[in-house]
Structure 1
C-alpha cells in the first residue's frame, strides 16, 4: 500500500500522506466504511474524489483509526471520537491527514500555473515581486494553502481569504512563517509550516505539491 510519507510537524502533530496509485476496486476492498460514508462515496460523481475519499480512510487505518472513529460537526469539520484533532486534504494523486493534540488545519495543493491567474482574488500580489514565474507559482500556492488551512481550522462562515487572513513575509526556503486571522473584532495568531512534496517517479512529468499546516499559536 502506498503510504508515501509520514512527517512530524512538531512533537504533537503528525502528517500522513498517501499517493493514490490504486484503482477504485482495490481501495474499496481495503477500507471499512460506515453506512453514512458509503452513501457519501456513492454520491460522488468524480472517481478522483472517490479515490481521494477512500485514500483518506486508508490513512486513518495507517494511523490506528478507522472511518468509524470519525464524525463531522454541523459545519462539516471532521473530529475523532477520542478528542485528537484532525484535518484532511486531497489533491489529485495525493490524500493527506494531520493528527494533533492541538487544533490544526492542513491543505495540500498541486502547484499549477492557474494559481497566478487567481492570485489577485486571495492575496496581496506585491508579495510575489522580484520572483521568477516558477517561484511566483510556488509562493502563491503556499499562500493559498495558508489561507485554506486556517479556514479549515477556524471553520466559521464569513471568513474572506483576502480581507481576513494575512501571512507574515517569508521566503520559500524558510519552510515556516506566521499568520493572523482578523475576524469578528478578534485577532488570532497561527504558526505556519509548509513543505514541498516531490511526487515524481521515473518517466513522469514533474509534479510538485505544496503541503501547509496551520497551528494555533
Structure 2
C-alpha cells in the first residue's frame, strides 16, 4: 500500500500523502462506501478522479477513520463526525488529507508551464520578478495553492483570489509565509507552509494565532 508520506505538523495535526499506483478495482474492493459516496464515485467520468476519490478513503483508514466518518456540508466542505478538522486534495498521481484540531486548508497542484501564463489573473506578478522559468512555475503554483487553501478554510461565496487574498512576499527557500484575506470589511491573517513532492506543490494554510 503506497502511503507515500506521513507528516506530524504538531502533536494534533497530521498530513497523509498517498501515491496512487493501484488500479481502480484494487482500491474499490478494499474500501467500504456509504450509499451517497458510491453514487458520487460511479457518476465520476474520469477514472483518475475515481482513483483519487478512493485513495482519499485509503488515507482515512490510515488516519483511523472510514468513509462513514466523513460528510460534506451544503458548501461542499468536508467534516469528520468526531469534530476534528479535515482538509482534502487530489491531483493526478497523489491524494492528500490533513487532520487536526485547528481550521486548515491544503492544496496539491501539479507543476505546469501554463500557470505562469495565467498568473496575472490571480496574483501580483511582481512576486515572480527576477526568477528563472522553473522558479516562476514553482512560485506561481505555490501562490495558487495558498489562495485555494485559504478559500477552503473560509469557504464563503464571493471570495476572489486576485481581489481578496494577498500573499506577503516570500522566497521559495522559505517554505512558508503569511497571507491575508480582506473580505467583507475584515482582514484575517493566515500562515502557510509549502513543499514539493515529485512534480507537485503541496500547500497547507492555517489561521494565524
Fold-level similarity (TM above 0.5): yes
> Structure 1 stretches (4+) deviating beyond 4 angstroms?
none
State yes or no: 1:172 paired with 2:172. Answer: yes
**TM-score of the aligned structures, taking structure 1 as reference length:** 0.94
> Match for residue 21 of structure 1?
21
Gaps of 5+ in 2: none
**How far did residue 126 of structure 1 move?**
0.8
Q: Is the 8 A contact 1:9 1:193 kept in 2?
A: no
Partners of 2:196 and 2:106 in 1: CA distance: 13
**Number of residue pairs aligned between Structure 1 and Structure 2:** 208
The equivalences for 1:26-175 within 5 A come to 26-175=26-175
Distance 1:9 1:89 in 2: 17
Residue 214 of structure 1 is matched in structure 2 by 205
Shift of 1:73: 0.6
* Cα distance in 1, alignment partners of residues 176 and 6 from structure 2: 18
CA root-mean-square deviation: 0.7
Normalised to the residue count of structure 2, the TM-score between the two structures is 0.98
Cα distance in 1, alignment partners of residues 14 and 62 from structure 2: 12
Encode CA deviations 1:37-63: one digit per residue, 9 max, x unaligned: 000001100000000000000000011
Please report how far the alpha carbon of residue 8 of structure 1 lies from its aligned counterpart in structure 2 after TM superposition.
2.0
Provide, for residues 136-192 of structure 1, a one-character-per-residue CA deviation record: whole Å limited to 9, x for no partner: 000000000000000111100100000000111110010110110000001111110
Unaligned runs of 5+ in 1: 199-207
- The alpha carbon displacement at 1:10 in A equals 3.0
Distance in 2, Cα, partners of 1:94 & 1:158: 29
